[in-house]
């Protein structure tokens, strides 16, 4: 299932997701990833799906959402891996423009040093870049990148991209407990002042991460980051991504398909899943059946139950 949602997004309102990368092909193996472990660590771009298939699946979802009165604020590339690994990305964006919905992409920034990647990203209305660290040791500890990647090239690529991009540029910095951020938050703030994003988001893990030890950063760390980023950019350009996005997940006609497509990239909290079942006139027996059939798994994080599609990246080591 390439298209899913619309789902509530803390950055984008109601977002129709595009899953243009299979489970789980990525250039990073972030400790906090909600998808699971990276199955194929890659940095060379290649095609994954036929661009026409991507377009048709998204078009059908857009039409279903409109028919059911569901709002779509953005079509967002947010897949089971790094979206810019897709060499057809530029073609897919060109096709999707015909749907007259703003286009967004959430990227880990790892390939932005490539001119062809920057060119593809220029076609979007909204681009989110990951900036978890600007020093090599912390970057390797948290984001666990492909060994051939170079952080300096990535940071330089972001600056080059910013010089040409006319859409909305945001950054996201994930803060986790157990990491020594001594001096790093100051260094990130200094980089952000050069990059000059429209908004710098400060995030913590809110869904079950792959590494069991990962927990949200302490309040004092989050507040310190806010103060430093606000000094660099202005308080009105720094926002938290530390709360729950809500339960406004769209029902698009088939509740089982909706559950499986959404949970393939977006773990559903129990209350959100119950609300989606209500919209589809279904009860919890459907969830029990999907778990029994091995299609869905139940996880717990920070005292909440979450439900995720069973994929190879989520199988126990």
Asked if residue 155 has a cis previous peptide bond (ω within 30° of 0), the answer is no
Q: What is the mean pLDDT of residues 247-271?
A: 68
Among the ranges 119-128, 220-229, 237-246, 296-305, which has the highest mean pLDDT value? 119-128
Question: What's the whole-model pTM score?
Answer: 0.81
> For residues 50 and 56, is the Cβ–Cβ distance under 8 A?
no
Query: What's the N-to-C CA distance of the chain in angstroms?
Result: 25
Q: What six digits make up the tokens of 176?
A: 């986790």
The pLDDT value recorded for residue 313 is 55
* pLDDT(312) > 70: no
pLDDT band at residue 217 under the 50/70/90 scheme: confident
Which sequence spans correspond to the domains of the chain?
3-241
Q: CB-based contacts of 250: which residues, under 8 Å, 6+ apart?
A: 5, 6, 7, 14, 65, 68, 70, 258
**pLDDT, the chain, mean:** 87
Cα–Cα distance for residue pair 216/117, rounded to 1 Å: 31
> For residues 53 and 244, is the Cβ–Cβ distance under 8 A?
no
Long-range pairs for 276-284: beta carbons < 8 A, 24 or more residues apart: 276/247, 276/249, 276/251, 279/251, 279/255, 280/251, 280/254, 280/255, 281/255, 282/255, 282/256
Q: What is the mean pLDDT of residues 90-118?
A: 97
The pLDDT value recorded for residue 167 is 96
Which residues does residue 120 pair with via DSSP β-bridges, in sequence order?
none
Q: What is the mean pLDDT of residues 193-211?
A: 89
Closest CA to 243 of 302, 198, 179: 302
In the block, tokens 């006609």 appear at 253
* pLDDT(254) > 90: no
In CATH, the architecture of 3-241 is Alpha-Beta Barrel (3.20)
The pLDDT value recorded for residue 124 is 98
Q: Assign residue 188 a region: left if phi > 0, alpha if psi is -120 to 50, beta otherwise? A: alpha
The pLDDT value recorded for residue 247 is 45
- Cα 115 versus chain centre, distance: 22
Q: What is the mean pLDDT of residues 69-76?
A: 92
């Amino acid at each position: 299932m390439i298209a899913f949602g619309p789902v509530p997004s803390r950055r984008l309102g109601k977002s129709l997701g595009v899953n243009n990368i299979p489970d789980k092909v990525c250039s990073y193996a972030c400790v906090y990833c909600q998808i699971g472990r990276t199955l194929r660590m890659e940095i060379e771009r290649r095609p994954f799906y036929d661009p026409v298939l991507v377009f048709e699946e998204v078009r059908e979802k857009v039409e279903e959402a409109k028919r059911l009165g569901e709002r779509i604020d953005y079509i967002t590339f947010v897949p089971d891996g790094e979206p810019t690994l897709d060499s057809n990305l530029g073609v897919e964006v060109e096709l999707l423009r015909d749907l007259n919905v703003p286009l967004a992409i959430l990227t880990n920034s790892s390939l932005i040093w490539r001119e062809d990647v920057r060119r593809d990203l220029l076609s979007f209305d909204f681009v989110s870049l990951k900036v978890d660290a600007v020093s090599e040791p912390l970057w390797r500890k948290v984001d666990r990148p492909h060994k051939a990647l170079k952080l300096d090239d990535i940071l330089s690529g972001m600056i080059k991209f910013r010089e040409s991009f006319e859409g909305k540029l945001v950054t996201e910095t994930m803060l986790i407990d157990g990491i020594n951020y001594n001096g790093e938050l100051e260094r990130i703030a200094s980089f952000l002042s050069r990059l000059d994003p429209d908004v710098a988001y400060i995030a913590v893990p809110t869904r079950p991460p792959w590494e069991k030890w990962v927990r949200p950063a302490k309040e004092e760390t989050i507040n310190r980051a806010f103060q430093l980023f606000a000094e660099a950019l202005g308080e009105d350009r720094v926002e938290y991504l530390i709360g729950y996005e809500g339960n406004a997940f769209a029902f698009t006609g088939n509740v089982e398909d909706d559950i499986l497509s959404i949970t393939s990239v977006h773990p559903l909290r129990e209350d959100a899943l119950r609300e989606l079942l209500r919209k589809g006139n279904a009860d919890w027996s459907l969830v029990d059946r999907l778990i029994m059939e091995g299609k869905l798994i139940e996880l717990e994080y920070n005292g909440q139950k979450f439900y995720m599609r069973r994929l190879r990246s989520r199988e126990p080591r």
